[in-house]
Structure 1
Amino acid sequence: MDRYHDKIYSIENEEFKLLYEGEYGAENNSNIQLDENGAPIYKYYWNGSEVASEAEYTQLLDEVFDVNQGVSPFDNAEYDGELGRYVGNGLCSYEEIINEILQY
């Protein structure tokens, strides 16, 4: 599968609200086309509309989110069999997020 997503949320009234959504990937996953440098040729979309290039997509994302502040949720995370999910590096359930906000 060669499709990637960037979703920017806020929390309002104890609920997640999707603010922005970006998506990119190969048009045909069974026949991924490559450019002259061997990189996959992707289509880019922002809030459901196609954008012209990776540069434009990156600019739109940078306008709403500092990607340098982002972390992979799976860095330094471990699977907890008792909870049935990954824990660590800030990974938490929906309820844990709301509780932390309410206790802030």
Structure 2
Amino acid sequence: MRAAVSAFLGRYRGQTRVHTDSDLRVFLRWCADHDLDPLAAVRVDIERYVRWLQDVRRYQPSTVPRRLSVVVGFYRVCVIDAILEHSPADYVRRPTVPAESRPSDWGTCSSKP
């Protein structure tokens, strides 16, 4: 597990690494609290984690997808590094973020030539 976490976090630097580490620790703590080996998780476990973020921890609607993205990225690296055969987060539905919860700079990119 330590090798998997190190490989994942090794892709980040500076404050991005600090925030990514924090988000991953929330997931790993949740796994420990639920007696779940993160490397043995299945899709339904990741979906339960998302519901926990929403219903128990009551994170802001924009925080839940960010924390889920970290989990998805962690499992993607586990597959790339042949730690896992497939990612349990592959088909987890991403929560929608209401427009009023999005950062003000979302959608400011223009597709005009």
Normalised to the residue count of structure 2, the TM-score between the two structures is 0.22
Higher helix share: 2
Q: Point out the structure with max Rg over C-alpha.
A: 1
Which structure dedicates a bigger proportion of its chain to strand?
A: 1
TM-score by length of 1: 0.23
